[in-house]
Homo-oligomer: A and B are copies of this chain.
Amino acid sequence: MLSQLSLKTNSHSELVDITSLLKETVTNSKVRDGICYVFVPHTTAGLTITENTDSNVKRDLLMKLNKVIDWNDKDYHHSEGNSAAHIKAAMVGFSLTVFIRNGQLLIGTWQNIYFAEFDGPRPRKVWVKII
């Protein structure tokens, strides 16, 4: 089963929690034991997993990546000026594989799954396949 989730990001850089959207997709699939593949079809946004408790973890992750892959390096040549977003998306990655057990998405106690926006705000898509 292949599904497309739509979301709207609200900031330039942002980690959007998509865990409950994914859980709902798993429930709807009626798959009891299987795999949930998540794929982001963009080049300036990716997918990551991080702590679901203190929102400062998300803030620190975005802050530090933004400092390391700074937006205004004079050596960037790309005319649209958003090379930093492409690089950060490549660093976190575009695909994720999560197990399903007893009809539930199997993730760690402290984990949530995030859409990593690096060049928003924009309407975005996430593709999910469940087997």
Contact = CB atoms under 8 A, between A and B. Distances in A.
Interface of A: 2, 33, 35, 37, 39-43, 48-51, 54, 56-57, 59-61, 63-65, 67-69, 73, 75-80, 83-84, 86-87, 89-99, 101, 106-111, 125, 127, 129, 131
Copies in the complex: 3
B80 A54 contact: yes
B110 A42 contact: yes
A90 B35 contact: no
- A-B interface, 9 closest residue pairs, ranked by CB to CB distance from nearest: A41-B108, A60-B83, A56-B77, A56-B78, A95-B97, A43-B51, A48-B90, A60-B76, A49-B94
A77 B131 CA distance: 39
B39 A98 contact: yes
Given A65-B87, A90-B48, A92-B90, A60 B78 contact: yes
Contacts of A49: 43, 90, 94
B69 A83 contact: no
